[in-house]
Structure 1
Amino acid sequence: MAPGTPDPQAGKGMRFVRRVYAMRAVGLAIGFFAVAAAMLEAGVPRWLLAPVFLHGFVWPHVAAWWSRHSEVPFLAEIRNLMIDAALGGVWAACMKFNLLPSVLILSMMSMNNVAAGGTRLLLRGLGWHLAGALAGVLAFGAAWHPEADLTTIVASLPMLVLYPLALGRTTYSISRRLAAHGKAVEASSRLDGLTGVLNRGYWEAKLAEEFQACKNGRRQAASLVLLDIDHFKQLNDAHGHVAGDEALKAFAALVVQHAVQLHPPGRGEPRQCLVGRYGGEEFGVLLSGANLTQAVEMAERLSRALQPGSGTSVEIAALRGHTASLGVAAFDTRMQGHQEWLTQTDRALYEAKRAGRNQIRINPA
């Protein structure tokens, strides 16, 4: 990277820093008691409890501050995890490798490393554990005392119980965020980015499902409406594409409003309306459970709402006096597929345009 070029990873990992900070603060604080008890049992100098105390109660806050003020917080936090691993090895040596607290420390720090970087970081952390243990042996001498007395066992219980609970809670929180994000992504993949109605691919897939439901007798009635803003190109040319986009959003909102009025929630056959953007300024409305008469009534109400002087709503104002042409067709058992349904409705829409626009035409089938 050339001098003066910003690091593309700069600022990456602040959420990760916050998550590790919480786990480190909990884990090292409750771990202090297990390590301190084991050190006292091993007969080490009492002054060694001071650095263990600093590691347990001061270091988590220093580490978080250090990471937040680093150019790449994520990489800084990985460094901090390796410092934890090395110090854990030192404390294990100071405890004369008392089995219970040593395994607890190794497990806690390894869980953090796996969560942060998978197997690769786990192995890297184990290397720093070993390096720290060797440093501790060189500094304080080699000794082996795996047995734990009752005090050490009791002091280890909070770490044995509380840290897995804290880790589980963090994992659950992450899972919920991921699930919410997945749902948001899934929803956005179904919607038209400008108007907020269904995009063509998803809307047409639902139309195909509705056709099969009608064909198999699971639905008694369904109707399809295709709508097109009249002279939309003139609106774009005269007022610009921003005004055109506003008109499309306003038109979509009006279509949804009138389609929903036709299909209020109620008992009996399930009713729903699915509004989709079929083309540039063309929209489709699938009216599940609606017969031809009901669909035409909806189309007429929408057409009246679009007439100049019919209202002063934001949607009407954004359309700048432009009306719409509409084609309507009900499901017919003689249709061979949903494409034929679309074709017949599109033919009715074309007839409305040929008749002078601002018209509603019904497929005669």
Structure 2
Amino acid sequence: MEIMDGPSATNSPALPQDRFANVWKPLLLLVIPCAVAAVFFLSDPVAPSLASTTRRPSLVFNSYMVHEGEDPVPSQPLLTPFFTFHNKGSEPVTIRELVPACSSCVSPDVTAKEIPPGGEGRVIFNVKTRNQAAGFHEYLVTVKYTDPEPHEVVLTYKVVLPEKQIEVEPRVLMVMGRISSTDRDIITIADHRPERAESPMKILSVLSSSSMFTAQSAGQSVVEDVRREAIEVTYAGNIPVGQHRGVITVTTDDDMYPAIQIPVILGDRKRPADEQVLVGPEAGRIIVQASSPEKSTGMRIVFTVPAKWVTSHVETFPTQIVAKVEKTEPLDADKIMVVVQISLSELPSKGIEQGILTLHAKDGEEAELVTVPITLLWR
């Protein structure tokens, strides 16, 4: 006998309430999102516009990158690419700072720091190629400005430099720690130009910016068809405490390289706690107007030194840089401020791009020095 368990669920007839549920559930899923959206829309009748209200920066450059191409540029000690800009805004623009990615390669300059609405100007790179390796190079400068909101923009210069022409080794002469009068260093200037093999470059003079060191010619040699000039550097005894800057200037009979300059850094920044020194800015600058030297513009250098120091005088290299102490005043019981204005009396020799400002002082019987590198930007 077959026993039936009763009717199967799949075969049983649908009840009325089941048919109703099968209809209203899908409808409910469609209606709920619309209802929620309507509630949010009606609850904020003054919802903000989606349009952006951010104001565009006012300073606009004609180009943000200059590329000289794939071929090497002609050999020259200084490249001066420029980037033209315009103030497209309704407020004045102030150029606050030019920051090169490589400060020893590029000395950036700007034709005007205050640009009125509709005004224009240029950022000039001043790329020093003398000690740069041959091949592709990319130089970056960050322009920081306000309009009046603060902004930054990065400019890029791409160039292929030719094979080495004049090579200086070391590029910067650094002597750290204690320095003795018996110490001696050699700087080598190598001329790789084959066209000068028959008429080599001649050294006319070797100048030292400071009595802390002495540089002089130490003879020539030819190695693998490359002519090399040796410069010997010796040092004075009892160099004052602190880190000091200087420059060695080698003048030549070469029109392309009339002056070759080698920066010198002596000592270190360690000073006694009660003899700390501040300089602002840490490096000076003079814009040299070659066609109108009287229009060359300098700047103020502010020294903060111990009150126990007695300032005697300031000294410059080259001598065409004029330094004048504008004021000396106490800041507190321990510090005094010395403000020095630098300018130019006449044009220095062609090729001079680096100078030095030295503040001389006495601490009792001990001599004290504070040195500041000065960059000369030729126009």
User: What TM-score, normalized by structure 1, do the two folds share?
Assistant: 0.20
Higher relative contact order (CA 8 A, sep 6+): 1
User: What TM-score, normalized by structure 2, do the two folds share?
Assistant: 0.20
Of Structure 1 and Structure 2, the greater helix share is in: 1
